[in-house]
Amino acid sequence: MTMFYLIHLKTLPFLFLLHTQLAKSFPVAPEHLEKKNLEIAENYLKRFYHLPSTQFRDAGRSSIMVAEKLKEMQRFFGLAETGEPDSATMEMMAKPRCGVPDSGDFMLTPGNPKWTHTNLTYRIINHPSQLSRDEVRRAIERAFQIWSVASPLTFTEISQQEADINIAFVPRDHGDNSPFDGPNGILAHAFQPGLGIGGDVHFDSEETWTQDIRNYNLVLVAAHEFGHSLGLSHSSDHGALMYPNYAYTEPSTYSLPQDDINGIQTIYGPSNNPIQPTGPSTPTACDPHLRFDAVTTLRGEIYFFKDKYFWRRHPQLREVDLNFISLFWPFLPTGLQAAYEDFDRDLVFLFKGRQYWALSGYDLQQGYPRDISTYGFPRTIQAIDAAVSYKGKTYFFISNQCWRYDNQRGSMDPGYPKSIASTFPGINCRVDAVFLQDSVLLFFSGPQYLAFNLVTHRVTRVARSNVWLNCT
């Protein structure tokens, strides 16, 4: 049984209520169609407009919340703001939002097992050879904290009595009919909430457990397993902690993705914190508001950076895939701000704040990150919006100004910065990102891009940014 059914069942009383209120606006629609429309509309609003799940809506205001969210959606698409799932609205909702990375959702464990108390206890039975007892305790504490900030749950370590969640590092056959397989393969497993072995987590003691980017980071694997201990199953959202595949992310700054927050709060309700935590959402390629952090070519492919992700596009194949930045370059931060390729040196430079990194393919060049003062930027420049290199010069875009750096001489050209519009007529907006393709500069500004022909010195095209991700 999946999440869908759980919400579905709980939604029924509410659906009937809304249904009778809207009946007059649908004189001809057959009843079953009407109900179906409402269901589709609700799922759509939950997915793209943060409509809370039924159980977290104030019963009396539930239908009003749906109507408000509908109006918001209608306003966005330029439809009549009826607040009702009329045919024009349903048609818009039915349009494929391409590239939505099988924008899955969290799943609850079949049968919906959960803890009936919120003050959970855990006990660390042993530790693996590579990490000390204290290192394991710190990692486990951090992994629980990832879940406790987003839920009403608390986790307390105990060393004597029986704990809710027992944590152990064990090899091969260890008496629960789920033997481990030695290095790699299965890393750990967890039992769903319940008495006895319920909630317990076992880690394969033959893995190399680490506190850094090396496989496998204990905090991340533990946090994933604890999701199972709390009643969550795997999610199809690629950015979720409960996604089935291990992916490295810096644990000290990790915050629980929104999909996992939605999952844990579906089971245990919102956090007791007056300010409800929110988490990063996996970007949707065809979100009409999508804007890029940075764009660059790299050895013939185009990389579009956004938050902790990038899309990669092969220019001929038109194929686009979404990946974590950390999967290719675990040493890079998220939220990059500018990037360019130096074709002569076969290097890519990436910028965030005053720091920058030089990459040769997957590898970080020695001596990086460096400070942008090496380019000749004064102390007053705190960040670069966009950068691109062309014919031995590198152009940096900062606010409404453009700086030009001479790659050979290794210094800024005199006369710069200049206004962007005086250097590139027609580009009179702030630039989020820019890259070069066949003597054309592609400038991204908010949800649109402008193509600037370097030969004719004119803007030749303006279109939506995410057509680059094959969105129509």
Task: Say if residue 365 is exposed, middle or buried (CB neighbours under 10 Å; 0-12, 13-18, 19+).
Answer: middle
Site mask for ligand 7FY (CB under 6 A), range 228-247, x = bound:
x------------x-x-xxx
Looking only at residues 238 through 257 of this chain, which bind Zn ion when binding is defined by CB under 5 A?
none
Strand partners for 214 = none
CB of 247 to ligand 7FY, least distance (A): 6
Closest separation between CB of residue 7 and ligand 7FY, Å? 23
Give the DSSP letter string of 385-396: -EEEEETTEEEE
The only residue of 188, 387, 412, 469 in contact with ligand 7FY, by rule CB under 6 A: 188
Question: Per DSSP, what are the bridge partners of residue 450?
Answer: 443, 462
Which partner in Zn ion, Ca ion, ligand 7FY, none is near 339 (CB below 5 to 8 A by kind)?
Answer: none
Residue 128 Cβ, how far from Zn ion at the closest point, in Å? 15
For the record, the structure tokens of 278 come out as 């929110």
Q: Give me the residues that bind Ca ion (CB under 5 A), please.
A: 181, 185-186, 204
Handedness of CA 284, 286, 289, 291 (dihedral sign): positive
CA-CA-CA-CA torsion sign (11, 64, 36, 19): positive
Judged by CB under 6 A, which stretch of 113-121, 181-189, 265-273, 312-320 contacts ligand 7FY?
181-189
Nearer to ligand 7FY, 247 or 327 (CB): 247
Q: Tell me which of 225, 250, 301, 319 is the catalytic residue.
A: 225
How far is it, in rounded angstroms, from Cα 38 to Cα 144?
38
Query: Angle formed by the axes of helices 258-268 and 218-229, to 10°?
Result: 30
**Residue closer to ligand 7FY, measured from CB, 190 or 256:** 190
Question: What letter would DSSP give residue 269?
Answer: -
186 lies in the binding site for ligand 7FY (CB under 6 A): yes
Distance CA 363, CA 325 (A): 13
Q: Tokens 């994933």 belong to which residue?
A: 224
Q: Of the listed pieces 38-46, 169-177, 184-192, 455-463, which binds ligand 7FY according to CB under 6 A?
A: 184-192
Say if residues 208 and 214 touch (Cβ distance below 8 Å): yes
Nearer to Ca ion, 208 or 439 (CB): 208
The answer for 432, left when phi > 0, alpha when psi is -120 to 50, beta otherwise, is alpha
Which of Zn ion, ligand 7FY, Ca ion, none interacts with 243 (beta carbon under 5 to 8 A by kind)? ligand 7FY
Q: Which of 31, 173, 176, 181 binds Zn ion (CB under 5 A)?
A: 176
Of 144 and 243, nearer to ligand 7FY (C-beta) is 243
Residues 177-236 that bind Zn ion (CB under 5 A): 202
Any alpha helices (H) in 80-213, and if so which ranges? 87-94, 133-148
CB of 132 to Ca ion, least distance (A): 22
Which residues from 334-363 bind ligand 7FY, rule CB under 6 A? none
The answer for residues whose C-beta is within 8 angstroms of residue 247's C-beta and 6 or more apart is 324, 326, 327
User: Kindly report the CA angle at 308 between 396 and 77, in degrees rounded to 5?
Assistant: 85
Q: Does 225 bind ligand 7FY (CB under 6 A)?
A: yes
| Residue 225 appears among annotated catalytic residues | yes
Which residues would be at the binding site for ligand 7FY (CB under 6 A)? 186-190, 220-221, 224-225, 228, 241, 243, 245-247
**Residues with catalytic function:** 225
